[in-house]
Amino acid sequence: MAQRAEAGFSTEQLEAFEITEMKATVTTSLPAEKVIEVIDPHGHREILTVGIDLDPLGLKKGDEVSISILDGLVVELEASANKDLSFNREDIILPADMGKLKKGMRVALASGTAQVISIDRQDNSIDLLGPLGGINNLDVVIPDGANPFDRIKVGDTVDFRLIQPLAVNVRKLPRSSTGEALKDFRENGEPLLISPLAAQEVSLKSELLEAFELAQLNATIERLVPGQKLLRVKGSRGHSMLITSAIDPSAAGFKVGDQVNIEMLQGLVVDLRSSQQNQLTLQREDRRLGRDFGPVPAGARVAMATGTAEVVRLSRTDHKLTLRGPLGKIHKLDIRPELEAEVFADLSVGDMVDFRLIKPIAIRIQPAAQR
């Protein structure tokens, strides 16, 4: 048990792990080291420590796999005066079962200094930028009476201590078009789409608001549409996204090139069901709210979307679903609580689904320099 004490992680901390299912394309497989490198649904390369024997799978470059991952878990997080980003890694072999981790599994421990890219208080997760430019989305253990998010904000540097993501199951999938889709994934995402605004009011159930989750991100404005509450921004991950805003960014004095901090209600799936369609589709329709919808005022533009997409990632514990649309665009969305049991009962990575959703809505935009 000496290694367990040396690692310094309690069983209680390890019980906080959450499992995410992901479809990915293999770029490198090292069975002896129990490590694989994959391209994830967002088009990013990820290096994963694997807790199982890879030899029987015979993985090679280009293979598509379904991976069950214990998400990275931050167990210590403190604001840092050090602006130099650093990263230190140490691998250990578990001498005994520890929560969801089993005896004999290789676990990667890490510590260092990173920059906060985004914070999700509702999910207790954080995006950290490391010294080599990699973005790491991690769950954070919240100690009793000492929430680390109360002491940090987006843009801060932090000292961290964490357990890196661990693949606990890897399944080889039949060949499909996903590899090509990932290879051809365009960083700029979908083109700017401006649908005619519907004149009629749309009625949304007020209880849906409770399922929305707030997120913050730092971004650069790439395009504004005068008179329209739309803006395209490039986030810290280098990807562009089109955002519907509850305020008119042009009227508020923002211009292309401005660095901004955006507080937004994340995308919310309100209807989802298995589809017999094999073709990916997306239709967008803009509506105006007939009344206040929580922090979104009456008259605000809301972007609704319907279509058929492929499930590329599931996170039941986070209540999140990642869909791949017809242009290779990846959509990470929250599932409405009333739909969770039905959605997750039969859904798996690779399934085609018909969906109806409310796209992300920016409810507050302010210059990054003011934070």
At position 64, the amino acid (one-letter code) is E
Cβ count near 42 (within 10 Å): 19
In the predicted model, is pLDDT for residue 197 greater than 70?
Answer: no
The confidence band for 229, taking pLDDT boundaries of 50, 70 and 90, is confident
**Look-up of token digits 């290694």:** 3
Q: Would the pLDDT of 112 be above 70?
A: yes
Mean of per-residue pLDDT scores for the chain? 71
Best-predicted range by mean pLDDT (43-47, 56-60, 120-124, 358-362): 56-60
Determine the pLDDT at residue 329: 64
Q: Are 245 and 365 in contact (CB under 8 A)?
A: yes
pLDDT at 185 exceeding the cut of 50: no
Position 34 scores a pLDDT of 81
Instruction: Report the percentage of the chain scoring pLDDT > 90.
Output: 0
pLDDT score of 350 more than 70: yes
User: Range with the lowest mean pLDDT among 157-171, 239-253, 266-280?
Assistant: 266-280
Give the model's pLDDT for residue 314. 82
Determine the pLDDT at residue 188: 31
For residues 117 and 122, give the distance between their C-alpha atoms in angstroms, rounded to a whole number. Answer: 16
For range 185-195, the mean pLDDT: 27
Residues β-bridged to residue 311: 323
All residues at 6 or more sequence positions from 8 whose CB lies less than 8 Å from its CB, including other chains: none
- Its sign, for the CA torsion 354, 356, 357, 359, is positive
Phi-psi bin for 208: left (phi > 0), alpha (psi -120 to 50), beta? alpha
Residue 295: burial class (beta carbons within 10 Å; 0-12, 13-18, 19+): middle
- Extract the tokens encoding 300: 């605000």
pLDDT of residue 68: 83
Kindly tell me if the per-residue pLDDT of 191 is higher than 60: no
Write down the pLDDT at residue 1: 27
> What would the pLDDT profile of 317-333 be if each residue is shown by its tens digit?
677 778 887 766 667 77
Q: Residue 279 in 3-state DSSP?
A: coil
Give the mean pLDDT of 19-34: 82
pLDDT of residue 298: 65
| Cα–Cα distance, 283 to 309 (Å, whole number) | 11
Distance of alpha carbon 359 from its chain centroid, rounded? 15
**363 band by pLDDT with thresholds 50, 70 and 90:** confident
How far is 339 from 324, CA to CA, in rounded Å?
Answer: 20
